[in-house]
Amino acid sequence: MSAGRGKPLPRAFYDRSALIVARELLGARLVRMAEGIRLSGTIIETEAYLGEEDLGCHAKAGRTARTRTLYGPPGHAYVYFTYGMHWLLNAVTGAIDSPAAVLIRAIQPVEGIDEMSARRAGRGTDGPAKVTQAMQIGGAENGIDLTGKDAGLWIEPGVPVHARRVKTGPRIGLDNVPEPWRSMPWRFLASVETARRARARRPASKDGGGQPRRMQ
């Protein structure tokens, strides 16, 4: 991936395992056109959810009105309402009828920082509900195609994140989910240093060697 503005990530990027997509979305840039203003942020935290067998995934309930988007084509947005107050943004991955997705948990704002800060009352974007609030993403965005710009929400290539700057660990908020799903290390977090480099738009090394570190 290269830094700066560009075309949305293609459908082929999402047509893979959610685990691969979740890792490779780190460093990519989430973009939202809201009221004529371009808002963007470097993705620094994600979580993978892998189908009906994953008891941490909504697809465990099968195909429902809520999960219909998960069963559709890869590269679409799965936006759902939770706790009676928050919208959360996911990118659908894998093949049609194989429900899986990647939750966008946190971003480092890059463009439209003042606008995002105003929506967050000066607070950060280090949580999935905070991301959607800052970027004005809600139920109307559920099901839109992230591989085009017509709907005003997409993800662009960004700065690659070296494995030594990535940590993995259990997903958040699955306290009532049985093992082994509760402890699967399917959460990916980029270091603050990586986020700062991405925001500065400095080119990164193409060397992607090494293994991610486990969160403690």
The CATH number of residue 154's host domain is 3.10.300.10
Q: Which domain holds residue 155?
A: 11-202
| Number of folded domains that form the chain | 1
> Would 107 be classed as within a structural domain?
yes
> Would 4 be classed as within a structural domain?
no
> Would 216 be classed as within a structural domain?
no
The reported pLDDT for the residue numbered 200 is 54
Residue with tokens 């963007």: 40
| Long-range contacts of residues 109-112, Cβ cutoff 8 Å, at least 24 apart | 109/39, 109/40, 109/41, 109/134, 109/199, 110/29, 110/40, 110/41, 110/42, 110/198, 110/199, 111/38, 111/39, 111/40, 111/41, 112/34, 112/37, 112/38, 112/39, 112/40
> Would 25 be classed as within a structural domain?
yes
The reported pLDDT for the residue numbered 3 is 43
Lowest-pLDDT range, 32-46, 98-112, 192-206? Answer: 192-206
What's the pLDDT band for 125 if we cut at 50, 70, 90?
A: very high
Residue range 9-30: mean pLDDT, rounded: 98
> Would 215 be classed as within a structural domain?
no
The reported pLDDT for the residue numbered 214 is 45
What's the pLDDT band for 144 if we cut at 50, 70, 90?
A: very high
Residue range 49-72: mean pLDDT, rounded: 96
**Of residues 135 and 200, which shows the higher confidence score?**
135
Q: Please say if the pLDDT value at position 167 is more than 90.
A: yes
> Would 208 be classed as within a structural domain?
no
The reported pLDDT for the residue numbered 84 is 80
71: Cβ contacts below 8 Å, ≥ 6 apart = 59, 63, 96, 97, 98, 99
> Would 1 be classed as within a structural domain?
no
